[in-house]
Structure 1
Amino acid sequence: SNDIGPDGIVALCDALRGNVTLTSLDLGGIRGINRNHVGGRGAEALGNLLATNAVLHSLDVSSNGLGLEGCGLVAAGLQQNHALRRLYLASNNIGPDGCRLLASVVQDCRLELLDLRRNSIGDVGAAHVAAAFKPGTDGGEAIVTLMLEHNEIREAGARALAPTVRTSQSLRHLYLSHNNMGPGLAVVFEALRDNRKLQSLHAVQTGIQEAEAKALAKSLEGGSGLEHLDISRNRMPDSAGVALFKALTHNGRLQHLNAAGCSLGNETATALASMMRYNKDLTSISLKQNLFSGAVGDVILEELKAHPHVRSLDLAYNDIPYLSQTGIHAALA
C-alpha cells in the first residue's frame, strides 16, 4: 500500500525482468482502498513480467482495481508462466468473466494457491472456476488452496463446485465462507464422502441449516479426510449439532472443529460429551457463543477429566456456571 501507481509498477516490472533472485512480490493494498492503483497499464506490465520471469513464485495484487481488463492482461502472462505458484487477486472486481479468463489459463500453468476472495464472481464465476478442475486439465489439478470467500455464490454455484470437491486429487484447502449457498452445500458435503484428499474446509456463514448439517454428518461418519472444519456462524437446530457429534464419534481424521455462534443448545453439548469418550483425534473444539446452559457444563467437565486428549475447548459466551467454566479451564491446562 504505497500508492506507487501504474508508472511505478511499469518501472518495477522492467527492473525485474532480468532478476533471477526475487521470488515473492507483494503489491497488495488494503481492501476497498486500492492503494497501489495498478490499473490497466500496470496490469499489462505485470502480464509481460509473468510471461518472461521464471523465478517469481508468489504475486499479490489484491485490492488494486484490476477489473476485467487488468485480469485479462495478467491471465495472458500466466499462460506462458510455469514458475508462479501463488496468485492473490482478492478484491479486484474481476467478476464472472474474469474467472472465465483465469480458468482458461490455469490449465496451462502450475498455480498451487488461487485467491479470488471478494470479486463478485457469483454462480457463473464459480462454475468457470470449477471447469478448471475437470479431468484432463492438468493445471487446475495443481491447485492446492482455493479461496472463494465473499463472492455472492449461491446454491447453483455450490452445485457447480461439488464435482471439484468429489474428484480433485490436488485440492487440500477450500474457502467458501460468507457465501449464502444454502441447499447447494448439501451437495458439496455429500461430495466429501468420495474425497479423502481435502484437509480443510471453511464454510463460515454459508447458510448451513439442518439438512446441510446432516449431509455433512454423513460424510464425516463415512470417512471424510477433513482435518480442519470451520462451520461457525451458521444458525442450526440442536438436532443438527447432535447429528454432527454422533458422526464424529466414528471419525478418525478431524482434529479441529469451529462451530461457534451456531445457536446450538444443551442437546448438542451432551452429544459433545458423549463423543469425547470415543474420539481421540479431535483435539481442538470451539463452541463459543452458543446456547449451552446450566449443569451441562459439569457433564462436559466430567468427560474432559476422564478423556483428556482434548487440548483446546472454547465454551466462552455460553450460560455455563462459573465453577464449571473454571473446572474446564483447569482440566485443559
Structure 2
Amino acid sequence: MAQDTAVRPDLHLHYVQACQKLGQPENPLIARVLQEADENEEIRCTKGITLKIAGNNHPVPVQRVRDDDLGALASVLSHAAFVKGLDLAYNVLTDAGAETMATFLQENSSLRYLNLTFNDLGMSGAELIARALHRNTSLVHMRMTGNKIGDQGGMFFASMLQRNSTLEKLDLGDCDLEETTVHIAQMLKNNPPLVELHLSKHEMKNFGVERLCEALQENSSLRYLDLSCNKITADGARFLGELLKHNQSLVILDLKANRIEDPGATHLSEALSLHNRTLQALSVVSCSITGKGLTALSNAIKSNMILSHIYIWGNTFDEDACMSFSELVQSGRLKPNCTDVAPFQVDGRAQLAELSHGLHREYYWAPRHRVVAHSAANASLALVAVSEYL
C-alpha cells in the first residue's frame, strides 16, 4: 500500500501495535530507529529513507535483531512504501528469519536495498531469499556478505540471477563459496542487468578467473568486478588482461590481496596502456608486486587518461616505483584522493606513504568520527552508483 510522504509517518506506533498483535516484546534497537525516523522532518519531502538497524558500531551494546523480531518489522514495512532501504547487518538472523524475510520480499514492491551482511544465514536461508527474488521486482542492491551459505547457497543465487530482471548489485563475498564461479560465469553470459558483482574470499583460482573472463566477453552490463582476497596468480591476471583488451563496460576491477606479482601487473599494464579505454579504477593492493610491475602500472596511467584511480599499497616499492608515482601525483595526473599513496622525500629520495583511501575502505563498517573524506575512502560508490539508499 502506498504511503503519502506528506503525512507524518507513525512507524513506531505501527511497530508497537504489531508487537502487541503478535504477542512479541519490542526490540529496543528497532524501536529507537523507528522513533528517529518518525522525528526526521526531512522524511516528508524526500523520495525515501533507509532504516539502519545494523547491530554493530554502536557506542553502547544493543539488543541485536533476532528471527522473532522480523514479523513485527515486516508488518510495519508493508505499510511504509517510503522505506526504500533496510540495513540489518551484523544481527543474529538465522534461516528461520530468512523465511519471514522471503515472504516479505515476495509481497513488497518498494524496497530497493537490503543488507543482511554477517548474520547467521545458511544454505536454507539462501534458498528462501533467492527464490523470493525470482518474483521481487523492486530490489536493486542485495548484500549477503559474510553469511556462510556455502556452494549450494551460492548456486541458488546464480540461478536467481537468470530470472530476476531488476537486481543490479549483488555481494556474495565471504560466503564460504568455492565451486560456484563456473555457474556465476554462465549466468553472466545471459547478460542480466547486474552491474556490480562482489566475489571476494571465494578461494577462486585461475581456472575460475578464466571462466569468468570467457563469460564477460559476451557481457556488456557489468561495470564493477570485485575479485579481492582470492588465489589468483599471474596467469589469472593474464586472462583479465586479455579481457580488458576487448571489454568496454568494466569501470572498476578490484584484485586486492591476490598474488599476481610482476608478470600479472605487466599483463594488466599492457592491456591498459594499449587497448582498454573504459576502466577507471584498479586496485592491486597487497598483490606481491615489486618495483618492475609497479613501474609498468605507472606507465599505463601516463598513457591512459581514462584510468583515474589506482591503489597499490602493500606491495614492494623500489626507488623507480616511488619516483614514478611521486611524479604522477605531483604533476596532477593522479589526484591525491584517487590513490592510496602520498609522496614525500627522505635525504632527497622519493618515498611513498600510505593514505586511508580505497575503492571501499568502509566495506565492513564506517567510522563514527570521519577523518578521511567519504569519497576518498569509498571511491567506488561514486564511480558506479547503483542505489542511493545505502
TM-score tier by shorter-chain length is 0.7 to 0.9
Corresponding residue for residue 193 of structure 2: 142
Could you tell me which amino acid in structure 1 is paired with residue 101 of structure 2?
L
Confirm or deny that 1:257 pairs with 2:310: yes
Instruction: Give matches, 1:16-165, under 5 Å.
Output: 16-29=77-90, 35=91, 37-109=92-164, 110-122=166-178, 124-134=179-189, 137-138=190-191, 141-165=192-216
Corresponding residue for residue 324 of structure 1: none
Aligned length: 289
Contact 1:203 1:230 in 2 (8 A): yes
Corresponding residue for residue 323 of structure 1: none
Could you tell me which amino acid in structure 1 is paired with residue 151 of structure 2?
P
Change (3 A) 1:57 1:285: closer
CA distance in 2, matches of 1:190, 1:294: 41
Where 1:133 maps in the other structure, the secondary structure is helix
Could you tell me which amino acid in structure 2 is paired with residue 204 of structure 1?
K
CA distance in 2, matches of 1:264, 1:281: 20
Contact 2:188 2:216 in 1 (8 A): no
Contact 2:85 2:112 in 1 (8 A): yes
Change (3 A) 1:243 1:293: farther
Contact 1:43 1:66 in 2 (8 A): yes
Deviation, structure 1 residue 28: 1.0
Confirm or deny that 1:315 pairs with 2:352: yes
CA distance in 2, matches of 1:73, 1:167: 30
Contact 2:99 2:128 in 1 (8 A): yes
Contact 1:194 1:224 in 2 (8 A): no
CA distance in 1, matches of 2:250, 2:349: 34
Q: More deviation in 230-239 or 61-70?
A: 230-239
Could you tell me which amino acid in structure 2 is paired with residue 220 of structure 1?
L
Where 1:121 maps in the other structure, the secondary structure is coil
Corresponding residue for residue 190 of structure 1: 242
Contact 1:207 1:234 in 2 (8 A): yes
CA distance in 1, matches of 2:346, 2:195: 41
Could you give the per-residue CA deviations for residues 270-298 of structure 1, whole angstroms, max 9, x where no partner exists?
44467679x97533343469xx976442x
Q: Of 222, 232, 238, which residue of structure 2 is paired with 1:181? A: 232
Deviation, structure 1 residue 69: 0.4
Contact 1:193 1:219 in 2 (8 A): yes
Contact 1:205 1:232 in 2 (8 A): yes
Identity of aligned residues (%): 25
CA distance in 1, matches of 2:169, 2:264: 27
Corresponding residue for residue 319 of structure 2: 266
CA distance in 2, matches of 1:274, 1:73: 53
Change (3 A) 1:59 1:272: closer
Q: More deviation in 79-88 or 97-106?
A: 97-106
Could you give the per-residue CA deviations for residues 32-90 of structure 1, whole angstroms, max 9, x where no partner exists?
xxx3x221221111111111111110111111111110000001100001110010101
Q: Which runs of 5+ in 1 are unaligned?
A: 30-34, 298-313, 318-333
CA distance in 2, matches of 1:195, 1:107: 21
Contact 2:282 2:310 in 1 (8 A): yes
Could you tell me which amino acid in structure 1 is paired with residue 198 of structure 2?
M
Q: Of 58, 66, 73, which residue of structure 2 is paired with 1:5? A: 66
Confirm or deny that 1:218 pairs with 2:270: yes
CA distance in 2, matches of 1:157, 1:294: 46
Contact 2:312 2:341 in 1 (8 A): yes
CA distance in 2, matches of 1:234, 1:27: 33
Q: Of 319, 334, 340, which residue of structure 2 is paired with 1:282? A: 334
CA distance in 1, matches of 2:333, 2:219: 25
Could you give the per-residue CA deviations for residues 109-162 of structure 1, whole angstroms, max 9, x where no partner exists?
21111011111212x22222222211xx35xx2111111222222222222221
TM-score w.r.t. the length of structure 2 is: 0.68
Deviation, structure 1 residue 213: 0.8
TM-score w.r.t. the length of structure 1 is: 0.79
Could you tell me which amino acid in structure 2 is paired with residue 243 of structure 1?
A
Where 2:72 maps in the other structure, the secondary structure is helix
Change (3 A) 1:84 1:247: same
Could you give the per-residue CA deviations for residues 298-324 of structure 1, whole angstroms, max 9, x where no partner exists?
xxxxxxxxxxxxxxxx9217xxxxxxx
Instruction: Give matches, 1:219-258, under 5 Å.
Output: 219-221=271-273, 222-258=275-311
Where 1:142 maps in the other structure, the secondary structure is coil
Contact 1:96 1:128 in 2 (8 A): no
Corresponding residue for residue 305 of structure 1: none
CA RMSD of aligned residues (A): 2.6
Corresponding residue for residue 51 of structure 2: none
